[in-house]
A and B are shown apart, each in its own frame.
Chain A
């Protein structure tokens, strides 16, 4: 078990590292066959856990990572994680299969799969980890890999824009989420999700409860594209279609759903959780579906439809949370059914939306357009594609015999169940919920009809430039959508297999306190009898057909409601404003002159140490332990003083450099005199290398004369220099006078013998403080690369290139 879970998280990352290597001999699109093995094997491995999970077993494994901070690398698998893990690997395999034929050989296929695997690993990490910090790390990693995948065609301006937008919005949400996690840690002292669930009452009683709740929800809403953060999703459609199908409809955007479901046991029971989750969800559903209808780009239409469907799932989870507030078992069963429906629809949505995205990808690939005004009459030319599109859209519209019908019915039922909810004082609102849901469903129905009828029926529109002759897609591209399409049908006919083995355990994972209750997992029936849900569905169909027929007459309404654009505009303006302000502020102090920067450093140093010195008033000078000053030292110091004063009056730069060198070497001699060979050696070599560097840079420096500044600046610099010197001298003298703590050197001296090193300095560097040394080495390396690339970059651009002048 453990090995399966660890494999699931780490294999994608390892595979991602291997892709560039393997790509060298598995060239072209054949690399895809290596990649597809990863999700496929993981899917099978994970699927083997399903039977034991359906018995209610959960697996929790913990490794200490940073135990002092409460961070453990702990994995937890229960039904809820399993649904997502299966979706990630299952849809992942199909998407990889599809992408093998979707991407052309000329694209950077290796890069694509590296990012995709990176995402897969991160996403599995999100759903399988129990520690909130680990979850957060993986969460942000999904944002980053999504960014990279959206910007896959980075030469397009729109791709870069969309990538940046999604990154900014989701990462901002992520940081809020982290803040929420930290608040929870503050309350409970643990980062473990399972332990948090056990401490519900403590959390609910704390004053940080509401802020933590809001922060966590912000993270979930930004990720799952809930209103008003949904604006990034349509722009994310610039990604290659397999990515849109995978990240932006089937998995990543559902991370928010996962988070809400996971935190339901922690936060639910408080009215605000129910209100926020269900209202935002419903509003998103309505907003998404209404906006989807007006889209002409099929992919944008699907993006809005995804937003709408995510909102629908979210709202069901909100209603499901009511089960924590009620005590009557009949009520509980009603609300748990809502969560059940949410999870059911989650799976259904992945199947039909995945297939629809693939269909759109095929259209784009075969015809070179996805604009519905340029499509039409394709049903006879591309019969298989048409069938899949038909299945997908009708399922989304909520028609039988497709799985969307089942979950749509359950959705209506969940909304209607609110009629009985008098526990949270919302009688008047209870009516509003089903109505909004119903209206949203009508629009859903309309855009589903748009997909089917406007792109596949009707007459073939006039040819447009760049059009390719329409014919059916190659069978390799069709396999993945066919598999998804058949799942849509299969789930309709055998929903209870799914319900018992996968949805049931997942639902119970959301309600750990209800484990003992029998018969919570509902049976799914296609036919409920003549009850309200079926009438609602009939109403949706009738109203939907009517409105679709007359779409042309009322479509003008959309020109009035332009809130969508104001939201987008708000985002753009805000971004532009931030950039402008940042550049103004930065430019005000980043003058580009090293002299100014040194002045800043000195000023800070003076302010920090100097004020501290004056503030503490501890001027105790103790010269008793000082060694007598001999003639050797006085001579060297005299040389140093002479050279440093001489620098001020140097007439040329070379003189100044040499004088500076004299200063440096004299210090080295001073070290020798005071028997510090290590320091002396280092000083000499550093001095040599810097002098060489100085000579190299010599060529670029401007004329010595031209650097003369005005008198006031020189006076300012003079004061700064003298003040710094005084402070350093005072501090150096003061050090001897104070001894608050016993010297640490004796400790090092004795222990370093144990470690075998006789050179204490090096033992400290290499062992006691090895971590510091390692990081220093790393910093040095990064700085070196930085300098190197700066120099190279400049040359490439040809700016200021001497020989060109």
Chain B
């Protein structure tokens, strides 16, 4: 019970941490790979604490698809550069003034990294789920 209660809170902390790691990756330690791993560890924690069915109800999406989406994003940003007649996977950045965040850099690299993060998340959770479902 204690673990479950703690998890309810910690889950979101880990998730936030994962996203933070992912976003800060451009300038600080972090990035897509680590972000994805942290996110997946959050889910793994959920699965460890609750049973699979409960978590499935809470997260109504297929992690295989998450991984596929990630690959699509990563390859897609590369293909995007073809539209601008640049070599494959050329990344671009824009510095934009956003109302709340102030001066922010928006880069296609973030999308690419998001692809990496989603793939890592999807694959890790798929593998762990696949094996653990087999156990039960």
Contacts and interface: CB of A to CB of B under 8 A. Distances in A.
A794 B105 contact: no
Interface residues of A, number: 42
Q: Is the interface of A mostly helix, strand, loop or mixed?
A: helix
Nearest to A787: B127
Given A774-B78, A777-B70, A699 B135 contact: yes
Contacts of B40: 689
Interface string B96-136: 00000000010101001101100110111011101111110
Interface residues of B, number: 51
A777 B120 CA distance: 8
B80 to A, nearest CB: 12
Interface in A674-730: 677-678, 681-682, 685-686, 688-689, 692-693, 696-697, 699
Contacts of A765: 31-33
B113 A766 contact: yes
B44 interface: yes
B126 A784 contact: yes
Contacts of B37: 682, 685-686, 689
A771 B120 contact: no
A767 B91 contact: yes
A756 interface: yes
A513 interface: no
B27 A759 contact: yes
A400 B119 CA distance: 67
Contacts of A780: 119-120, 123
B29 interface: yes
A681 B21 contact: yes
A757 interface: yes
Contact of A692 (B30, B44, B70, B71): B44
A787 B74 contact: no
B130 A787 contact: yes
A762 B40 CA distance: 20
Contact of B74 (A686, A763, A777, A802): A777
Interface string A779-802: 011011101100110110000001
A391 B112 CA distance: 62
Given A696-B135, A774-B78, A781-B119, A766 B112 contact: yes
B64 A788 contact: yes
Given A759-B28, A774-B78, A681 B34 contact: yes
Interface of B: 21, 25-34, 37-38, 40-41, 44, 48, 64, 67-68, 70-71, 74-75, 78, 88-89, 91, 93, 95, 105, 107, 109, 112-113, 115-116, 119-120, 122-124, 126-128, 130-135
Closest 4 CB pairs of A and B: A784-B123, A758-B27, A677-B29, A756-B93
Given A756-B95, A781-B119, A785-B67, 16 more contacts: A677-B29, A682-B34, A685-B34, A685-B41, A692-B44, A696-B131, A697-B131, A699-B135, A755-B107, A762-B113, A763-B109, A766-B91, A774-B78, A778-B74, A781-B71, A785-B64
